[in-house]
Structure 1
Amino acid sequence: MDGIDAHPTHWRQLGVELKRRTTMPLEHPSFVFFFLVAILIVGPIGVWVELYGYITRIPPNAAPLRSSFTSFVPAFLAATCMQLIWAEDQRKSLRAFSILILAVCTVGLLFCNSRDFADGRAIFLGFILVALSMWMWWVANANQKEFMDSNNQFMTNPIGGENVDGPLQGNLDGFNTD
């Protein structure tokens, strides 16, 4: 194989990066709280409303719940995967992985909405797809500073921001030490 590194380390690197992006945000309460409120509760509110309707309706009707999966998963997952593809400059395998997940979820939605697929299986699959799309959001945003709690924000902000190695603004002209 001329010029191609055929070592399995690329697979290992992808696994290590996915694991790092899955666990590292747990150290940041701001990330976790944002995820819980915006991504888990508010984002799929249509799914939660239809799940409540499915549980409380007699007899239960799975069609609205199936439709909520079809409206939430593609919109949310496509936006998340595109974000990861556009933001990731270094890891081509991570971009390819997001395309694979998008394709797998698209096929899963076809099964989820097939009349030949039993309601219980469709609902189970739908929630798997919702969870997978939320995990992809987690992975895509794991490096976003906006969601992280900075360890040094109180030390750098009083002296002028993030760049603590640069020259300080101002001068000492007219300052008398006597």
Structure 2
Amino acid sequence: MRNELARRTKRPAREFTYWTYFIVCVLGLGGLGCWVELVQVNGEAPAVRDWNNTYTALVTFFPALIASSCVQMVFEVKSKPWHAFSIGLLMLSLVVGLALISHARPASASAWFWAIVACLTSLWIWWIANADNPSLHDGASPDDAVGGNPDAALAGDLSGMKV
């Protein structure tokens, strides 16, 4: 598992399409609730800022991202260890998510720390879940012709063939 996690972490690192999708769709649109709350709270005077909604946005973002990524891995990867890994992550995110969501408000520094760690972890889980997704990689599509120029003359002939 360690080697596969390392491979999946490194593989898309130099893919422009992958990074664009990750930044625009996962961070930008997926984290829209967090961005809206950050903008709203920063628009208030420092003395009256209430960070509770921002905290709630964080602790509801990561379970959704982890859950969708884990279910995606279960459906796409035909490997029992990956299924076990995915289901384990799903259960762990449920427990951590419920603990952080039910934490007393205003949230302590420790709760904020774990909420941020969970969000960063969820982004990594999305990253490894989609590392082998050919739609997010630059270069040839899996539907492209392989084996050379499709317009080239065919090799061989039919001489000596009896019908």
Same fold (TM over 0.5): yes
Which residue of structure 2 aligns with residue 123 of structure 1? 112
Two-structure CA RMSD over aligned residues (Å): 3.0
| Farther-moved stretch of structure 1 (78-87 vs 46-55) | 46-55
Give the unaligned 5+ runs of structure 2: 155-163
* 1:8-45 Cα shifts (integer Å, max 9, x gaps): xxxxxx00000000011012111112111111122101
The question of 1:134 aligning with 2:101 is answered: no
Give the unaligned 5+ runs of structure 1: 1-13, 172-178
Output the amino acid matched with 1:36. Answer: I
1:118 and 1:73 map into 2 onto residues whose CA distance is: 17
Counting only pairs closer than 5 Å after superposition, residues 1-178 of structure 1 correspond to structure 2 as: 14-57=1-44, 58-89=47-78, 91-113=79-101, 114-115=103-104, 118-150=107-139, 152=140, 161-164=144-147
2:64 and 2:105 map into 1 onto residues whose CA distance is: 24
**Aligned pairs, number:** 151
- Is this contact kept in 2: 1:73–1:129, CA < 8 A? yes
- Is this contact kept in 1: 2:41–2:51, CA < 8 A? yes
* 1:111-156 Cα shifts (integer Å, max 9, x gaps): 3221178432222222211111111111111001000112x56xx9
- Is this contact kept in 2: 1:111–1:117, CA < 8 A? no
- Is this contact kept in 1: 2:55–2:112, CA < 8 A? yes
- Is this contact kept in 2: 1:88–1:94, CA < 8 A? yes
* Identical amino acids, percent of aligned pairs: 28
1:81 and 1:40 map into 2 onto residues whose CA distance is: 17
Output the amino acid matched with 2:81. Answer: S
- Is this contact kept in 2: 1:66–1:112, CA < 8 A? no
SS of the aligned residue for 2:48 comes to coil
Output the amino acid matched with 1:134. Answer: L
1:38 and 1:87 map into 2 onto residues whose CA distance is: 20
Output the amino acid matched with 1:53. Answer: Q
2:10 and 2:125 map into 1 onto residues whose CA distance is: 13
Which residue of structure 1 aligns with residue 160 of structure 2? none
TM-score, normalised to structure 1, is: 0.71
SS of the aligned residue for 1:142 comes to coil
Q: 1:55 to 1:98 in 2, by over 3 A?
A: farther
SS of the aligned residue for 2:104 comes to coil
